[in-house]
Amino acid sequence: MAAAQSISRDTQDARNETYQALAQTHGLLPIKVTPFYQKKVDEEVTALGHFGGPLARTVYPSDERLQLRAPGEVADWVDDRSNMIAQAKDIFIQKYENRILFTPTSTCAAHCLYCFRQDVLTEQKAGTQKTLDEQLKVLTAHLKAHAEVTEVILSGGDPLTLSYADLERIFVALAEIKSVSDIRIHTRVPIFAPSALKNDEKLALFAKYNVRMVLHSVHPYEICEDVIALLARMHAHGIRVYNHFPILRHVNDHADVLLELMQKLETHHVRTLSIYVPEPIYYSAAYRISYDRMCRIIDAVNQRAPSWLNSFRFCLDSPHGKVRRENLVMRDNDANILVFMREGQRIVYPDLPEKLDAPGDIKTLLWKTA
Ligand code: SF4
């Protein structure tokens, strides 16, 4: 880590500038950090003396992010566009018969530099988004004609950047569709800006409409006192909160980090649903891990975790849905290709070659405690 320790704020500023230019020309999400999260990054940078810590890497580019490329990277691995019907373009995605991903906003509180939706989000930000009324009209017409859809997941962007009034309009519209029994929100607002939920109005709204909340927390240091206080208030309102997240190189690629994150969340009534394989999208190599190393980390978690933490699934998302280790049917180690099957569909995953992988250092990953 000696080289990383000498990295100054000036060097990081230059790197940020290079990245911002790249973001403009290559459809990447620009750097955007909330003051709340920035404070944590500053504390980390001061403690470590460099920007290679897990929180800094979540929102700021590293040299690897700028330079490392892996074979088989594509713009949009899950191919969201192939799961949008023409009249619902940029409104909702339907990959499974019984649920729909509704994307009412392309705005996020901050930008996660590993974001696997960067391609579609960048395009949506550049275009003209339909008004919420127009989106709801298309969504509800579809839901009325498709009673097999029982769950609507609000994603984005981050739906918790919407106003109370907009969220209420969405919930009211969905409540009128009797076949929709479940509403879920995917968000990082509680992690990036918990003060956005500082009054109880929105929490009461989520409770009223029985909304499940899924955080995307990637590291235990994101779960600070302010976030814990918000989780306690959500719990007091009877809101069910879950977490799912990608395993990311030099952010959380160690069993100790994953266990600390899951344990901390469980203590505060948050159950971990899934740990995801990072998707092979353009400029993602800095965050990716070879499949075998991921499996070893997950095995270590499974061996050490108490049973109440062990119910999460480890999976890879794909244009045809999620696949797990048991769906792996073939591998070609020379070509670094893994083939998974789901419902008759072949998913060819370009693994990260071992030579491009480098495990995170636990003293950096858990710099407060290791
Ligand atoms: S909050 Fe979600 S959608 Fe927004 S940048 Fe982060 S991962 Fe992507």
- Residue 315 contacts residue 294 (beta carbons within 8 Å): no
For 242-296, the pLDDT digits (tens) are: 999 999 999 999 999 999 999 999 999 999 999 999 999 999 999 999 999 999 9
DSSP 94-140: EEETTEEEE------SS--TT-TTHHHHHHHHHS-PPPHHHHHHHHH
Taking the centre of ligand 1 as the mean of its atom positions, its distance from the CA of residue 121, in whole angstroms, is 9
- Tell how far the Cα of 213 is from the centroid of ligand 1, in angstroms: 15
- Which amino acid belongs to residue 166? D
In a domain, 149, yes or no: yes
Q: Is the pLDDT of residue 8 over 80?
A: no
Containing 178, the helix (H) or strand (E) segment is none
Closest ligand 1 atom, CA of 121? 3
pLDDT bin (cut points 50, 70, 90) of residue 7 is low
Using most ligand atoms within 8 A of CB, pick from 90, 185, 188, 191 the residue to mutate for ligand 1: 188
**Is 173 inside a domain boundary?**
yes
Give the three-class secondary structure for 264: helix
Tokens standing for 354?
A: 């071992």
Where residue 190 falls among pLDDT bands split at 50, 70, 90?
very high
Coil vs helix vs strand at 46: helix
Percent of the residues in the chain that have a pLDDT greater than 70, as a whole number: 98
* Mean pLDDT calculated for residue range 340-364: 96
Ligand 1: atom nearest CA of 156 is 3
Please work out whether the CB of residue 59 comes within 6 Å of at least one atom of ligand 1. Answer: no
For 220-247, how does the pLDDT look when each residue is reduced to its tens digit (9 = 90+)? Answer: 999 999 999 999 999 999 999 999 999 9
* Ligand 1 mean position, distance from CA 111 (Å): 6
Q: Does the beta carbon of 158 lie inside 6 Å of ligand 1?
A: yes
Q: Does the pLDDT of residue 87 top 90, yes or no?
A: no
CB count within 10 Å of CB 163 equals 10
Query: What is the distance between the alpha carbons of residues 140 and 143, in angstroms, rounded to a whole number?
Result: 5
Take residue 40 and report the two structure tokens written for it: 């944590």
Q: Would 341 be classed as within a structural domain?
A: yes
In a domain, 53, yes or no: yes
Please check the confidence at residue 3 and state whether its pLDDT lies above 70.
no
Q: Is 186 in the pocket of ligand 1 (CB under 6 A)?
A: no
- Contact between 55 and 219 under an 8 Å Cβ cutoff? The reply is yes
Distance 107 CA to ligand 1 centre (A): 9
Q: How far is the CA of 143 from the centre of ligand 1 (A)?
A: 26
Q: Is residue 370 part of a domain?
A: no
Indicate the residue type of 25: T
For residue 268, is it within any domain?
yes
In single-letter form, the type of residue at position 261 comes to L
Asked if omega into 344 is within 30° of 0 (cis), the reply is no
Q: How remote is the CA of residue 203 from the centroid of ligand 1, in Å? A: 21
- State the pLDDT at residue 2: 38
The answer to whether residue 42 is domain-embedded is yes
DSSP letter (8 states) at residue 74: B
Question: Mean pLDDT across the stretch 189-204?
Answer: 97
The whole domain housing 117 covers: 2-365
Specify the number of domains making up the chain.
1
361 falls within a domain: yes
Pick from 120, 158, 214 the residue to mutate for probing ligand 1's pocket: most ligand atoms within 8 Å of its CB: 158
Q: Rounded to an integer, what distance in angstroms lies between the CA atom of residue 127 and that of residue 129?
A: 6
Taking a C-beta distance cutoff of 8 angstroms, is the pair 117, 80 a contact? yes
**Distance of alpha carbon 105 from alpha carbon 148, whole angstroms:** 25
Averaged pLDDT for residues 18-42: 95
Question: Residue 17: which CATH number?
Answer: 3.20.20.70
Is 219's C-beta closer than 6 angstroms to any atom of ligand 1?
A: no
Atom of ligand 1 nearest to the CA of 192: 1
DSSP 54: H
Residue 248: how many CB atoms within 10 A of its CB?
A: 25
Burial call 224-247: b when 16+ CB within 10 Å, e when fewer: eeebeebbebbeeeebbbbbbbbb
